[in-house]
Structures are given as structure tokens and as C-alpha cells.
Structure 1
């Protein structure tokens, strides 16, 4: 793996096209997260010094480490970041904030930056495939740190041995975060992605200094302590199977496990008047069957509630950054949503994250709709560049110039002579 990261210098056109889409999503979603009052308050409290790396959408350029951490948090704060069902999490969010911040600092070439981003994604995804976390563990900030380290090592032009040591060191800095932090609405969950960016930078710098060692740390941290680890997944089809082409984009501001239920509810919405609904039964695979909370307390806990997502979809037709959290009608309908696991749907993992929604009405009639994956999955209604642009324009209605910059940089980055100035333009003007 170290040799592949260090020496690979080309990727198929289809992979580069997908990288462009993932970059567009990362830029836009990070900017949307940066606009949140709590993220602005954190940036003020951080008091980061001026530097070479942009706080995307926040109107400032700061020190590399601060940019990596704060952009990582902003990227995941609205639950809109790209993900991958095979990795069981978010490879891009683990690695891209660190790589982009370091590329801005180094003023790296476009081809080098693209190669580093692909290395970050592919390594993170394979570590995600290799790791089976213990029940209750959240995937943010653990298996994906290795990807951040890989991408940064590539930008620093480390040799195969040093790159392998950086990857192993990154895997040794895993966060042991509990999934209940998300469902309870604790923003520490967002900080785990900031920690991934910082740890990836640290691991690569340690390797550059000759301090890092490759001792099989991943098997201990991700395996012995946090779950189970299958090292064979790390090099499976490396360089021929590109996991970045198999991910998903989000159109709902909520956990991906809630998306199929929301999509199914939207398909039934024209025939399901909320006042006539007696109950909404949501049958889900085992991974999503625990998101049943009906008493969310803030945005984060709501985004991890299937009843919130289903009720909001039924009543408003969308789940977005501006969706109301305290609408009495949404809370009343959410209390009529029942979420249960279904063995037949669990059996279809990982290729499908299927969900079945049945709406029972007060007159006894029932409507049922089943979806195999959420809209936006590479295998089910994949989103195009125009689809992503339309979503970003909705999420950033007062930032058209920033959306235009994100589109331009995402398209042009792999061919740029130098990336520093283009990346810094993504800071935009402070909203």
C-alpha cells in the first residue's frame, strides 16, 4: 500500500471525473457548514493565526493545522458529506480537509494534489472495509485517519517505506467515539473529523522526520481495541477497483441511514395526507434500525432520527439545513413513526441499504414503498454535477459567487500548475 500511494501517478478519466464531483461536494458542503452560527463561534474562539490554508466559505486563510481541523468539522456538521457504503462511513471527509490544507501550504501541483486526494480516499475506504467496529462505536475519526496520513504523505513525496509508516501511524491515532454522541446531539462527534485531519498531518510529518514506524499498529488499534481488522482488505484490487466511484452524495441533511426512509416517504407523499395517517412503519437493515429517537434536542440529534426525517419529508417535502426542529406538527407525526429491523433487508448489505415504508391510515388502508438504496448512491439514481450544483445553490442561497468558485476549482484542480491560490479563493468573503 505504501508503494502504491507513493508511486501511482495516473488514474482513469472516469476516476478523475468522479474526484471532481466529490471535490465539488466537499467544497460546497464545507461552506454550508461554515455558515452555521456555532461553527462561526468556534472559529472566533479558536483564534487561529493567519496562514496559507483556506477556511472554506469562512472568509479567512489560517494556519494549515487549524484549517484542516475546522474544515473537517464544518464538512460533517450538516450531515451532507459524501460517503461510501462499502467503507461504512465517509472516506473523503476523513482525508480531504488535511490534504487540501497541506496542498495550499505547499502550493502543490494539480496532478500531485489529485493523486494525494485519491490516495486519501482509497486508503481510507480500504481501512473502512477492513475494520468491523464494535457495536456502539461511531466510524468518525478512527479507520479513516490512515487515509488522511496517506494523502499527506503523498504530498510530502515520501518514499514507500516512509509512506507505509505514516499510514500505520495514522491508524494508531484512532478516536474511540460512541455512536450515542451523535444521537444525543453532542457536537464532539464533529470534532472527531477535525481530529482525523490533524492526526493525518501529524502522522505524515512524523514519517517525514524519520520518527514513524510500521509495526502493524492498525491491527491493534482498529482490531484488538475497537473491533475486528482484516488486513487483506487493504490491498484488495488496489489500483484497479476505485472505491471513489462507488460512493454516494446526499440530498438530505441527515444521517445516510435515514435517507432511504425519507426517499420512500417522499414517493408516497402525494397519496399520504398527514392528518389521515395512523402509523408509519419503517423497516430497515440492522445498521439503521437504532435511529428511532422521537425527542431530538438539537440539529445533530434530529439528523440522527429516522422519525424526524420521515415526518419532515412527509410534511415539507425535504430535509435541509433550514428544516424546522421544533415544529409541533413534525413532532406529532414523528411520534407515529415506528422503526424496526428487518432480516431480509439486513441480508442485502453491503450492496444495498434497503428500507421499506408502510403508511397505515385511519381508515385501515395501507400504502407501502421500498427502496434499495438512497437517491444519490452510485448504484441508485446517482447525482450529476448539475444535480450537485442545484443542491449547493439551495444550501448556499446568498453565496452564488462561492458556488461558482467551487465548480471551477473542482473541475480545474487536477490540471493546475499550482493549487495554492485557487484553493485560497474558496475562503470567499465572510458571510
Structure 2
């Protein structure tokens, strides 16, 4: 083959390996705005409990409606868009969120609240798999970092929930939710820009997605080893999601009851947990790029265990410190599990993103109802105490195949 023929291929390869930080930061910002809107729902729980007289179980049902719709639809959207990418599904999805957040602000009863959060769940289900694909396309050879930039946007948006409660819902009440329609509209505009870049990328290299799917499409099925690894990853996501669900939905009530905190003070405790989690999400990707994904996942779960067990048995000041440490350590694995699953089944970026992130939402949804019921049944303090034991399931991380083994499996496929 001539030198002239080789050179363009090398240039194309180098271009494909370049990390496009501008796109990563914009999609990360969109993720922040999307998840900040989603965070409006649990942020309103203390307000709705008082204004509508809702029980913990009813609050759990609201969270279930939001997260379960997102959970069920994310893998479906991912599977469909793996076959046929839909760039403009991103702004269309956020338009559903726009409708939902307006509905929450003016909902007169429990039923309308549930219907409104279903719209937000649909918007989230469309956004996450395609947002993850955009991050993958812009990642170059820095997949861990790229996924962290994308995911930290979402975790930062979730971390804003306590501030939203303290600064907006406490003074304004339920109607304050309607203000977030402005946030949704801004996110739609940003996603139109992303969708145009996405479309141009596909037009410039129409075989790009197909090439990445060749290895997976030629497979007659997943091997037993890969299926086992996926089951282990999903079990770890279950443990992490239930713990986070318990903390984000019910720890504010625990602080009010056990420490005599005000609503604003309890939200600051929760804010510390979520913000440190956002930092953990960001640093998890680069740490995985350097030390390996399996090591970061194992450290994330087992490092959390002693802190989470101590948390219900300490003073308020110590609890605040433990919340910061727990949030950071636990969430270092958030983006890493997504990348790990994507590399287990290469070519199925949307499917694996929808499965892992969608399952996190789904497990959080089930956890919201289940933990709310348990809190009503045995008491909030007892539920929070037993919740701290959940990260012990992180021991299963040691059974995951090493990063080198996953690479060898992929290399055989190619």
C-alpha cells in the first residue's frame, strides 16, 4: 500500500482519538441542568409532606414514578439508538421535562404530582443514553475522563437539590418548581447545538457508529464470563443505588428528628453528601484511567462500608464529616461502572449506558418505595442504621474480571 494511502488513515485515526473538550463540557452542563430539574422532585418532599400531608410511602411512590419510568425506558432507548442514532432526540426529550416541571408547580393533588413526574422521567430516559453516546463520541482515548465530565454534571445537578429546597421551596413553596421551566428551556437550546454537532459528526463519518458495532453485531451471544461480570456490576449498582436513595430521600428527615435540625440545616447536610459525591464522580474516571476500573469500583464500595456504619451513631458535627467522606468515596465508581460495562460489551454504547444508569434509577425507585415503607414500619432511625450495612455487597467487586482480562476478550473479538 502506498504512503499516500496510509497517511489519510493515520490522520483520521489521530483525529478520532482527539478528546473534544468543548462538546464534553456542554453535554456535561446539559446533564447538570437535566438532573437539577430531576432533583426538584425529592427536594420538594419536605414541602409536600407538610402542604399535602403525604406519608413516607406516598413520597416513595412519587420517587418511584420518576425513576422507574426512566429506568425502564433508558435501555429501550439505548437499544434503539444503537441501531439508529437520533441526535435530535436529546432536545425533544428535554421538552417532555419542560412540561413535567411546569406540571409539578401547579399540581393540585397527589395524582397530578405523579403524572407530572412521569413526564420528567420520560425526558430523563431519552437524555441519558444519547448523552452518554455523545460523551463517548467526544472522548477520544480518554474514556474514563470523558465519562466523568459527563457524569459529574449530573451528580452536581442532583447535589443542588438541598439548595433548591432551602433557597426556593422554603420561601416560595410548590409554585417554585415552575421556575425550573426556564432551566429546561435553556437546556433544550444547548441540546439543539449538541444535536447539530452530533448530526454533522455522523454525516462526516457515517460508518463511525457501524464500525464500533461490528464486533458486537457479529457475536451470536454474550459469553458466560461476560454475563457473570454484568450480573456482578448490576449487583453493585443495586447496593449503591439503594444506599443513595435512602440518603437523598430520607436523611433530611433523620437529621430533623435525631439532631433537631431545621429544614434548611438538614438540607445543608444532604448538600455536603451530594457535592462530595459529585467530586468523587469526577475523580473516579481519571483514577480508573490510571489504576484500573476494577480497583476503583472495589475501593468505592468497601471504603464506604465503615463510614456508613458509623454514620447513625455519631454527633451532628462528626456526621457532617462522614457524609462528605462517604459521598466522595462511594461515587468514585459511578462513571467507572458505566465505562466498564461499555467495554464488556463493545459497540453497545447506548444499551450499556441505558442498562447501568437506567438500572441505577430503577433501583433507586424501588429503594424509595421499599425504604419508605420500612421507615413507616420499623422507624426512620432503625432504617438508616441498617442502610449503613448495605455497602458490604461491595465484596462481590473482587469477583469482577480484571481490566486486562476484559481487554483480552475484546481483542479476541476484533
Report the TM-score when normalising by structure 2: 0.30
Structure richer in strand, relative to its length: 1
Report the TM-score when normalising by structure 1: 0.29
Q: Which has the higher contact order (CA 8 A, sep 6+)?
A: 2
Structure richer in helix, relative to its length: 2
